[in-house]
């Protein structure tokens, strides 16, 4: 888990999961609402790219709420491509999958 702090308060974070075949999965990237739209998410995402590259990952993937078109466009602006969707009975939304070559 990697965190972004404002003084001593965590205001954003993400986690990385190492996978097989030199892949990493980016999980839980989020910024608390009061701190959004200030570039913190971008800093966290770029940090994730750097950490993943340092771990010798060649690809990073992520799952998103497919219906959140704004979030999908945000990830696409950083080079992620949409690879598919899956609907699970236990979620009230569709899972979208994206990946980026590092």
Q: In whole angstroms, what is the distance from residue 53 CA to residue 39 CA?
A: 21
Domains and CATH numbers, the chain: 2-101 (3.40.630.30)
pTM value surpassing 0.75: yes
67 DSSP 8-state letter: T
Beta strands in the chain (DSSP E): 2-6, 9-18, 23-31, 59-65, 81-87, 94-101
Q: What is the pLDDT along the chain (102 residues), one digit of tens a residue?
A: 899 999 999 999 999 999 999 999 999 999 999 999 999 999 999 999 999 999 999 999 999 999 999 999 999 999 999 999 999 999 999 999 999 999
């Amino acid at each position: 888990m990697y965190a972004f702090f404002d003084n001593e308060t965590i205001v954003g974070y993400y986690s990385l999961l190492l996978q097989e075949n030199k892949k990493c999965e980016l999980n839980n990237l989020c910024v608390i609402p009061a701190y959004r739209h200030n570039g913190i998410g971008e800093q966290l995402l770029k940090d994730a790219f750097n950490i993943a590259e340092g771990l010798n990952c060649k690809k990073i993937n992520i799952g998103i709420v497919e219906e959140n078109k704004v979030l999908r466009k945000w990830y696409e602006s950083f080079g992620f491509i949409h690879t598919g969707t899956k609907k699970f009975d236990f979620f009230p939304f569709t899972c979208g999958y994206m990946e980026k070559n590092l």
